């Protein structure tokens, strides 16, 4: 019997805009893979979203403010005509048509509403612990509905008091969209939302010290932060290439000798690291959060003392030691859509079991 799934998207932006960060890629890849496995997936998302050809219900309303810009004691904010409230009122109305609802929003409301629903809800938590009110809401669901909290990495789980109740999912990408590049023709790369928790300034400093050009790709979330970096590192050979769709991103990324991954916070996963590895590009990452579980030190890149620019520079000097074929093989084995699909299908069946 065909299982019917309702995917409720993030509330901070439309799917396809890049505002939803890694969640967009995660939602798209899981949905695509499960459709291929015979599931019926319907995506409900803010008006103006794309669902890449899959069934889509668009919901109007005001977007949520980004959770990671709030402080730990930030209260829950629900704006007038909240798209988050409208998304979940829609889910409530249609829940009997589905076997499982999957929540992709890192917001208080869907967790609070979980006990009010008849239909089971699986929560894919996309970031580590950020606010007390979210920790409390997720913990309540983890206790009342064991096994329904999915996370991308063990490091991310460890940021929560209910770490042991989280289901490890990793993440996955569609490898057919990433071309392996054996001989790099460019310098360094940095990919991600241009926002202070991503630590871009350290990568720029490493580019300036080594004199190796660096391509910067990603959504320009914080213009002031970007301008400050350009003032602080006027001689860095960097170039901002904009927010790029996967096809163009992987092309420019694949030409690079290495990707620098410099998170200030506990990155839940680090999609950009597996996108680089898929193209044969080693990742030089701070030993912090999700990327530290992806990169095998000395084999598929290097793990560096967190916040150490000297460490980045030293690792850049050792890139000749890395076999780019092993980088792609790591993704084929652990982080393909198929490998992620196995883990997600197992998770869903445990919940439905």
Which CB sits closer to ligand HBI, 316 or 340?
Answer: 340
x/- letters, 103..142, toward ligand HBI (CB under 6 A): --xxx------------------xx---------------
Which CB sits closer to ligand HBI, 101 or 258?
Answer: 101
Which CB sits closer to ligand HBI, 23 or 309?
Answer: 23
Phi and psi of 85, rounded to 5°? -65, -40
Tokens of 34: 């499960």
Binding to ligand HBI in span 199-258, by CB under 6 A: none
Spatial separation of the C-alpha atoms in residues 338 and 137, rounded to whole Å: 31
**Shortest reach from residue 29's CB to ligand HBI, in Å:** 13
x/- letters, 5..44, toward ligand HBI (CB under 6 A): -----xxx-------xxxx---------------------
Spatial separation of the C-alpha atoms in residues 108 and 85, rounded to whole Å: 11
Spatial separation of the C-alpha atoms in residues 268 and 23, rounded to whole Å: 11
Angle between helices 337-352 and 22-36 (to 10 degrees): 80
Nearest residue by C-beta to ligand HBI?
A: 21
- The SS3 of residue 118 is coil
Spatial separation of the C-alpha atoms in residues 183 and 181, rounded to whole Å: 6
Phi and psi of 138, rounded to 5°? -70, -40
Which CB sits closer to ligand HBI, 79 or 211?
Answer: 79
**Shortest reach from residue 151's CB to ligand HBI, in Å:** 11
**Shortest reach from residue 38's CB to ligand HBI, in Å:** 28
Spatial separation of the C-alpha atoms in residues 280 and 191, rounded to whole Å: 15
**Shortest reach from residue 107's CB to ligand HBI, in Å:** 5
Is the CB of residue 59 less than 8 Å from the CB of residue 23? no
Which CB sits closer to ligand HBI, 23 or 319?
Answer: 23
Q: Give the interface with ligand HBI as residue ranges (CB under 6 A).
A: 10-12, 20-23, 64, 66-68, 105-107, 126-127
């Amino acid at each position: 019997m065909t299982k019917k799934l309702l995917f409720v998207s993030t509330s901070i932006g439309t799917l396809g805009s890049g505002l939803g960060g890694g969640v967009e890629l995660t939602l798209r890849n899981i949905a695509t893979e499960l459709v291929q496995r015979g599931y019926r997936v319907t995506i409900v998302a803010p008006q103006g979203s794309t669902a890449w050809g899959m069934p889509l219900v668009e919901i109007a309303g005001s977007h949520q403010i980004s959770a990671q810009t709030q402080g730990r004691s930030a209260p829950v904010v629900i704006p007038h005509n909240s798209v988050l409230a409208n998304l979940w009122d829609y889910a409530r109305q249609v829940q009997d048509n589905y076997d499982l609802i999957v929540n992709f929003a890192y917001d208080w409301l869907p967790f609070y509403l979980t006990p009010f629903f008849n239909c089971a809800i699986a929560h894919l938590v996309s970031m580590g612990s950020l606010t007390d009110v979210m920790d409390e809401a997720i913990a309540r669901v983890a206790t009342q509905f064991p096994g329904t909290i999915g996370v991308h990495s063990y490091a991310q789980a460890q940021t929560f008091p209910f770490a042991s109740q989280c289901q490890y999912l990793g993440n996955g990408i569609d490898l057919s969209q990433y071309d392996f590049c054996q001989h790099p023709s460019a310098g360094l790369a940095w990919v991600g939302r241009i926002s202070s928790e991503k630590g871009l300034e350290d990568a720029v400093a490493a580019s300036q010290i080594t004199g190796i050009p660096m391509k910067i790709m990603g959504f320009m979330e914080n213009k002031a932060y970007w301008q400050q970096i350009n003032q602080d590192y006027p001689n860095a050979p960097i170039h901002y290439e904009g927010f790029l769709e996967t096809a163009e991103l992987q092309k420019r990324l694949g030409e690079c000798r290495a990707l620098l991954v410099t998170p200030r916070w506990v990155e839940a996963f680090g999609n950009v690291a597996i996108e680089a590895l898929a193209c044969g590009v080693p990742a030089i990452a701070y030993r912090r959060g999700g990327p530290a579980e992806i990169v095998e030190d000395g084999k598929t890149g290097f793990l560096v003392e967190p916040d150490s620019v000297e460490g980045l520079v030293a690792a850049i000097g050792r890139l000749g030691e890395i076999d780019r074929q092993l980088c792609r093989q790591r993704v084929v084995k652990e982080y393909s859509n198929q490998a992620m699909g196995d883990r997600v299908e197992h998770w869903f069946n445990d919940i439905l079991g």
